[in-house]
Amino acid sequence: MNDKNIITIEELELKKKEKKKQLEHDSIIFYAMVALGIFNCHFIDVTTKSTLQKQAISIIDNAYEYIKNDSSTEEINYKLVNSFRKLGMTKDTQKEKRVIDIAKKNSIEYIQDLQDLQDSKNDNISEEYIKEKAIKKLRISFSRHMQSITLMEFYRLYLEELARWKRSTAKIPRKAHIPLYGRTFLIKTGMLNVPHTIDQIETHLPCKGLLPTQLFGCQCSMVLVTVSEEVYETFIKNMFRR
């Protein structure tokens, strides 16, 4: 890659504005990251956590009600869908249904875990611990869903453009991704070479290690080659300041 191909910060700001107009979403994740030509799992995770923590607690607190009685969960559904809209979902009934399904699935698992605890009479584990674990698990499920949505948007905007795989910012980077650090690829052929849906990203591709998000705890980035090192470094620094 020749230096003259790297666009300046001023040019990048213009390009960002241009990309903002093409975004299907209205959120900080898409403005601060996708419009800039960056995809990073950790940023989505941190943003999702701060935005959806209250909803996750509320769902787990009301887990019995949540799975038993649809009318009593209307308020939670409303808050949940609204928060996801803030994060970047469009008004899309299918995607909203998926978010509510995630909440219900996690509620069922939480109640099952409580039941198992009572059956096992294990004094070393408290109900509080089971609850904290359930909130965390639910929050992670939301985050992974958000990562899928964001990844699809990144693909849509930058198909056929060149990107570079950036090393993980995780304390324990995923080994399968280390050989990919610094590699340049065409968005499409080097990663996913078939049209795909959110469900395919979530269910079929994970663990193959082909994309950031596919390995749990991966904090790698994909960055367009036109994004300068300076812009990327600033993004990462700001991310850790959040």
Query: For strand 184-186 and strand 38-40, is the pairing parallel, antiparallel, or unpaired?
Result: unpaired
Written as one string, the DSSP assignment of 129-148 is HHHHHHHHHHHHHHHHHHHH
CB of 204 to Zn ion, least distance (A): 18
Residue 20 · residue 31 · CB < 8 Å: yes
Of 20, 33, 3, the C-alpha closest to 236 is 33
Of 80 and 211, nearer to Zn ion (C-beta) is 211
E strands present in 115-195: 162-166, 184-186
**Count of all residues that appear for the chain in the document:** 242
CB of 175 to Zn ion, least distance (A): 9
Residue 63 · residue 107 · CB < 8 Å: yes
Answer yes or no whether residue 227 interacts with Zn ion by CB under 5 A.
no
Answer yes or no whether residue 164 interacts with Zn ion by CB under 5 A.
no
Stretch that binds Zn ion, among 55-63, 114-122, 172-180, 194-202 (CB under 5 A): 172-180
Decide: residue 38, CB within 10 A, 0-12 exposed, 13-18 middle, 19+ buried.
Answer: buried
Answer yes or no whether residue 174 interacts with Zn ion by CB under 5 A.
yes
CB of 42 to Zn ion, least distance (A): 10
Query: From residue 128 to residue 157, what is the string marking binding to Zn ion with x (rule CB under 5 A)?
Result: ------------------------------
CB of 203 to Zn ion, least distance (A): 19
Query: From residue 185 to residue 224, what is the string marking binding to Zn ion with x (rule CB under 5 A)?
Result: ---------------------------------x-x----
Q: Which residues bind Zn ion (CB under 5 A)?
A: 168, 174, 177, 218, 220
